[in-house]
């Protein structure tokens, strides 16, 4: 819900800025929805009757292009200057709003009326309310996301705050650049950037699948002694587990010395075996380029191990048939470098299978020569 609300708010506000920026940049004409009547009986600006808030009117308002409702009867000027008065009434000026929500779009080109704006009548400002509503929706969505990030853990909270700060900083810089380029560019640049981030957000969300369920952190699991850690699917998000194990759909591999394979088989003493996705094993060998030192480093083996040992690659075509799962950290092969979530410290993926009684036909092995 927070994501949906944030997306609606971001999209709406960005479109507001793009339209406003284009209108300013290209001086696009606004549609005329009515004509002001009457005016001051004794004050003129460039030969035209000066208009006063709370006194003067337009005959009607067509409402075109539906940014405010049609008003088939006289429409009062609702806003004017708080410091400039004409016949005791606030002086109306460009952009002063009417009670229907429209605003004065044209007037004397060389006369400027200063001072803050004062309202003397209710304004049915649907466009303004929509803008304020989108801003409020965005703030509430950001607040909800901040609370959820805090519930997940400190690391996620810090990441959220840092990314939010970078976005705000980037928008500020774009605004300053736009101000240097000229009127309208601030809104245009910020609006386009907002729409671009909105378009990228689904991809970013897919890349940033939450790893842990709410209220659980990596530190919580690592604090538990080996042998008492829970199954990984009890604290990892279902989507993360599904995406992680899908990496093994095309098979799994592991590396070990030929002597250990002959002596123990592919399983540890508890019958489990750590494996990696087949495509990651392929990439690991490609990166090593036949260099035994590089392969030792990639596999975490002591230096010069491969000088006196034959390394073999084990390939398992259907690991899901062997109770494929993310390691819990209780396995015999889990050491002090184990981290929750099926990832090695190097960033490589791992899983575990029950291989204690694996049939010889369920795997193959290939010696690697250097």
Residue 209 has pLDDT above 70, yes or no: no
pLDDT digits (tens, 9 = 90+) for 123-133: 998 878 887 88
21, part of any domain: no
139, part of any domain: yes
Domain identity same for 252 and 117? no
Domain identity same for 146 and 97? no
Instruction: Give residue 102's domain range.
Output: 32-121
Mean of per-residue pLDDT scores for the chain: 87
Interatomic CA distance for residues 83 and 117, integer angstroms? 9
Residue that finishes a domain, picked among 121, 154, 186: 121
What pLDDT is attached to residue 54?
A: 96
80, part of any domain: yes
What pLDDT is attached to residue 167?
A: 84
Specify the number of domains making up the chain. 3
Mean pLDDT calculated for residue range 162-188: 87
pLDDT digits (tens, 9 = 90+) for 238-288: 989 999 999 999 999 999 999 999 999 999 999 999 999 999 999 999 998
Interatomic CA distance for residues 305 and 296, integer angstroms? 7
Interatomic CA distance for residues 54 and 33, integer angstroms? 19
Residue that finishes a domain, picked among 207, 234, 260: 207
What pLDDT is attached to residue 6?
A: 61
Is 269 exposed, middle or buried (CB count within 10 Å of its CB: 0-12, 13-18, 19+)?
exposed
Residue that finishes a domain, picked among 100, 121, 142: 121
């Amino acid at each position: 819900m927070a994501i949906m609300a944030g997306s609606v708010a971001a999209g709406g506000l960005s479109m507001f800025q793009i339209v406003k920026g284009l209108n300013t940049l290209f001086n696009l004409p606004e549609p005329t929805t009515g004509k002001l009547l009457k005016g001051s009986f004794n004050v003129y600006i460039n030969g035209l009757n000066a208009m006063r808030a709370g006194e003067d009117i337009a005959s009607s308002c067509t409402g075109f292009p539906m940014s405010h409702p049609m008003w088939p009867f006289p429409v009062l000027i609702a806003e004017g200057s708080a410091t400039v008065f004409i016949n005791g009434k606030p002086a109306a000026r460009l952009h002063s709003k009417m009670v229907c929500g429209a605003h004065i779009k044209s007037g004397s080109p060389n006369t400027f009326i200063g001072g803050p704006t004062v309202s003397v009548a209710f304004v049915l400002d649907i466009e303004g309310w929509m803008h304020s509503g989108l801003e409020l929706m965005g703030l509430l969505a950001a607040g909800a996301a901040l609370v959820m990030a805090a519930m997940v853990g400190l690391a996620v909270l810090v990441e959220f705050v840092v990314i939010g700060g970078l976005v705000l900083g980037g928008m500020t810089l774009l605004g300053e650049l736009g101000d240097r380029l000229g009127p309208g560019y601030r809104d245009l640049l910020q609006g386009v950037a907002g729409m671009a981030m909105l378009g990228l957000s689904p991809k970013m969300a897919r890349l940033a699948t939450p790893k842990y369920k709410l209220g659980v952190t990596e530190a919580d699991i690592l604090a538990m002694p080996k042998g008492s850690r829970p199954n990984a699917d009890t604290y990892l998000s279902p989507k993360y587990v599904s995406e992680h194990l899908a990496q093994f759909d095309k098979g799994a591999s592991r590396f070990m010395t030929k002597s250990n394979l002959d002596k123990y088989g592919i399983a540890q003493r508890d019958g489990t075996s750590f494996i990696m996705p087949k495509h990651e094993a392929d990439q690991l060998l490609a990166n090593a380029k036949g260099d035994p030192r590089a392969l030792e480093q990639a596999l975490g083996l002591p230096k010069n191990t491969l000088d006196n040992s034959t390394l073999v690659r084990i390939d398992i075509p259907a690991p899901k048939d062997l109770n494929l799962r993310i390691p819990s950290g209780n396995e015999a092969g889990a050491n002090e470098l184990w981290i929750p979530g099926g990832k090695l410290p190097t960033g490589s993926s791992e899983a575990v299978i029950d291989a204690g009684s694996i049939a010889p036909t369920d795997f193959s092995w290939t010696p690697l020569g250097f």
